[in-house]
Amino acid sequence: MIQISALPAFTDNYIWLLQDPHTRRCAVVDPGDAAPVQAWLAAHPEWVLSDILITHHHHDHVGGVEQLKKATDATVYGPASENIPARDIALKDRDRVSVLGCDFEIIEIPGHTLGHIAFYHQGLLFCGDTLFAAGCGRLFEGTPEQMHSSLTRLAALPEDTLVYCAHEYTLSNLRFAIAVEPGNPDIAERLATVTGQREGGIITLPSTLALEKLTNPFLRTGETSVKEKVDERIGTHNRAPSAVFAALRAWKDKF
């Protein structure tokens, strides 16, 4: 089984490092900066970077790709409908690729960007900036309906799936979640845990889909408590889940 660890980048990005201990080959997900990856490779010269997985085109996810490609000749995988530097293999919905001996299914999840994709292998989800721990990405290109549909699709994966998102936003997301559902004991417990983790400089990822369904307001748009809070803020009733999502996202943007 591949080993997964995080290489911190910028202020709050994580570049996910996947390692196959049998072949000494490794892969990275969304290397917005080449330096952390090159530093790791320099400290572990027995390892070869063979694959680079890209979820979307934003610079903090692709900024290091060309430099790494030139230095290692790794294969670059990325969404077909976005401009990805040095991309070798363009991926569309339901494509399958083999990376480090693992078969990954491609899931198109527009919203944050229009061509955003996730890489899914049984038990593992690399979802970029679409689903965050206790939150979701901003809508830079897509519509609320698209993002809600994308999140619903991810939420349908097995509950034990580990969620490897690309940013350390968990604490701020939980502060919003508790404002949405002040009476939710799961959110309160997670907020206390994550507060302690961040005070100790400990990474809060990966999450699980089971935990997200209990504590992430953007996956809980069908819950009465969430709908009532939105109704309270907006002054309307009987909103569809996608409309509840749109109201939550607009609230979070100004939170």
Active-site residue list: 56, 58, 60-61, 112, 129, 167
d(CA 107, CA 154): 8
d(CA 155, CA 131): 9
- Name the nearest CA neighbour of 75 among 59, 53, 93, 92: 53
Amino acid at 169: Y
Provide the Cα torsion 171, 177, 183, 185; round to 10°. Answer: -50
Are 215 and 174 in contact by the 8 Å Cβ rule? The answer is: yes
Identify any residues that bridge with 103 across adjacent strands, giving them in sequence order: 98
* E strand map for the chain: 3-9, 13-20, 25-29, 48-53, 75-79, 89-91, 96-99, 102-108, 117-121, 124-128, 131-132, 135-136, 162-165, 207-208
Are 148 and 109 in contact by the 8 Å Cβ rule? The answer is: no
Report residue 69: phi and psi, to 5°.
-60, -45
Are 130 and 20 in contact by the 8 Å Cβ rule? The answer is: no
